[in-house]
Amino acid sequence: MKQRAITLGLACLSALASVLPPAAVHAQGLRLSPGATATPGAGDSAGKGSSAGTGTRSGKGGSGAASSSRGMPSITLPPAGAASSTAAAQPRQADYIVAVVNSEPITNNEVRSRMARVAQQIAAQGGPQPTSAQLAKEVLERLVLEKIQLQLAAENGIKVDDLAVSQAAQSVARQNSVSMDEMYRRLSQDGITRDRFLQELRNQLLMQRLREREVESRVRVSDLDVDQYLREQQNTTDPSKIEINLGHILVVVPENASPEIVEQRRARAQKAADRVRAGEDFATVARETSDASEAASGGELGLRPADRYPELFVSATQNAPVGSIVGPIRSPAGFHVLKVLERNKGTVAAMAVQTHARHILLRVGPQLSESQAADQLADYRRRIQAGTADFATLAREHSQDGSAKDGGDLGWAGPGRYVPEFEEALNGLQPGEISQPVVSRFGVHLIQLLDRREAKLTQREQRDMVRDVVREKKLDEAFANWVQEIRGRAYVEYRDPPQ
């Protein structure tokens, strides 16, 4: 296992986009935080447009418009050799208040700690570093926005159960292919205690639930919206509308490395590039040699608009045909080898991998906590696996979802049709397997994958995927407007600038 440091990613990239320059936003772990939205369904609260949710993600299927303003909390594993303890290694200055948000303070040390993590993430993604003064100003504004959202969540009585926090932590470990113990060990090396990590996860979940409650009801997508989007995609000549999917191998160069070390790392990257140019499978080489967090998944970064990639990657691959290898190219993080996997104008794919699943949903409230619901579903799971109970029967008797009458059957669904927590659990299952209880915005689910297939999409299914993309874009706009509204209503007093 390659040594990597863990740093906390920033949620709510739509809000971040208003205070960070594009190059910085692109470097904030966007791939790890696919967007998700829920659309009210007609009596079915678990299938498409229901409690399992409707969403989009940056992947095959042509959406490419995933937003990190929603979805699972984002945690990034910078590659081996990154300056993992930047904040901890620096002398700690006497702390002082730099801003007050509705009577709650933000301190200089909070800003400095976040600055170190953001700078590390940008470097790991190959993005240009803003000046220290610019980064301090932008990070402070980000912390102001977070403080406002957390205050609103408290005012609205929004809470996050310990079970949801635990599930999010486990998701982070899975995303980065490490055990929980290893994750906490690396967090500690990065100067982040277990309690602080879990609190930041809880804060991200609180902000996510607030946005789901306050923003998503504002968005509607009509057939005219879908038609207009399709026309725009067919007629576009704007390079920023082009979508690309890149394979990525990163060989990290440690900070202040000697020329000998730099040359060793360059040679290692060159060897990786030579192997894939000679015909070896890119994903295999990436798993064996890459220091990037996506190495475990074969180095694939996902189909997304070009302007959501670091400019270094876009400029290096803009004239490269699909299937070609580019690099090694150098960034502050190290040497990158890129493969152009796909390139299109955002059109919807004709084929997609579909899943057939069923679930049992227990909604939470004053009479049933998330932990109690999870215990009840865990008991159902044990009984089903022991052969003393039937999944469909339990779903009909207990599921609080529109699919209950069908034994929890959700039918066939394409990628991105469920909320991130649900879809992540589903993607980790083999046909016939049953998940552990999964917490989402709708309650707690027990999920069984019945089958998985690659299928040709009908015209309606393709339009549904486009509808998801359009909805995601509208949600981004609604979220940005909402952020401006709550920022304008808040009392913010700036004091001594951060240093």
Whether 145 contacts 487, CB under 8 Å: yes
pLDDT in tens, 77-89: 444 444 444 444 4
Chain centroid to CA 14: 13
pLDDT tens across 162-186, in order?
888 988 888 888 776 678 888 888 8
Whether 227 is covered by a domain: the verdict is no
Whether 362 and 414 share a structural domain? yes
Residue 169 within any structural domain of the chain: yes
Distance CA 465, CA 52 (A): 16
- Phi and psi dihedrals of 122, rounded to 5? -60, -45
Q: Sheet of 97-101: strands edge to edge? A: 104-107, 97-101, 492-494
Asked whether residue 360 falls in the same domain as residue 340, the answer is no
Contact 49, 56 (CB under 8 A): no
Residue-number span of the structural domain to which 399 is assigned: 351-456
Task: Indicate which CATH number applies to the domain containing 437.
Answer: 3.10.50.40
* 381 shares a domain with 279: no
Distances (CA, A) of 372 to 146, 287, 362, 378, 394: 30, 40, 10, 10, 17
Give, in order, the Cα–Cα distances in Å from 290 to each of 15, 28, 275.
31, 19, 13
Tokens (6 digits) for 315: 């400029």
Write down the pTM of the prediction. 0.64
Residues pairing with 106 in the sheet: 99
Mean pLDDT, range 407-423, rounded to an integer:
87
Q: What is the mean pLDDT of residues 455-481?
A: 83
Contact status, residue 264 vs residue 334, Cβ threshold 8 Å: no
Average pLDDT in the 109-115 region?
A: 87
CATH number at residue 211: 1.10.4030.10
**Mean pLDDT across the stretch 213-218?**
84
437 belongs to a structural domain: yes
Residue 211 one-letter amino acid: R
Same domain (yes/no): 118, 204: yes
Q: Are residues 270 and 289 in the same domain?
A: yes
Residue 244 shares a structural domain with residue 315: yes
Among the three residues 286, 313, 344, which one is the final residue of a domain in this structure?
344
Query: Is residue 13 assigned to a domain?
Result: no
Both 211 and 107 in one domain: the answer is yes
Residues 330 and 363 both lie in one domain: no
pLDDT in tens, 335-350: 999 998 887 765 566 6
Note whether residue 380 is domain-resident: yes
H-only helix segments in 125-215: 132-155, 162-175, 180-189, 194-214
For residue 358, what are the β-bridge partners? 409, 448
Looking at the structure of the chain, the number of domains it has is 3
Are residues 413 and 439 part of one domain? yes
Each residue's pLDDT tens digit, 266-286: 999 999 999 999 988 888 898
Instruction: Give residue-wise pLDDT tens across range 120-161.
Output: 777 766 667 788 888 888 999 999 999 999 999 999 898 888
pLDDT at 402: 92
pLDDT, residue 241, reads 62
% pLDDT > 90, the chain: 26
Do 102 and 193 sit in the same domain of this protein? Answer: yes
How does residue 18 score in pLDDT terms, banded at 50, 70 and 90?
Answer: very low
Residue 2 forms part of a structural domain: no
Residues, the chain: 499
> What is the model's pLDDT at position 92?
54
Both 302 and 373 in one domain: the answer is no
The answer, yes or no, to whether residue 232 has pLDDT greater than 90, is no
**Shared domain check, 410 and 334:** no
Residue 52 inside a domain? The answer is: no
pLDDT on residue 427: 84
Tell me if 78 is assigned to some domain: no
Distance between CA atoms of residues 376 and 370, nearest Å: 10
Q: Which amino acid is at 498?
A: P
Calculate the CA 447 to chain-centre distance: 21
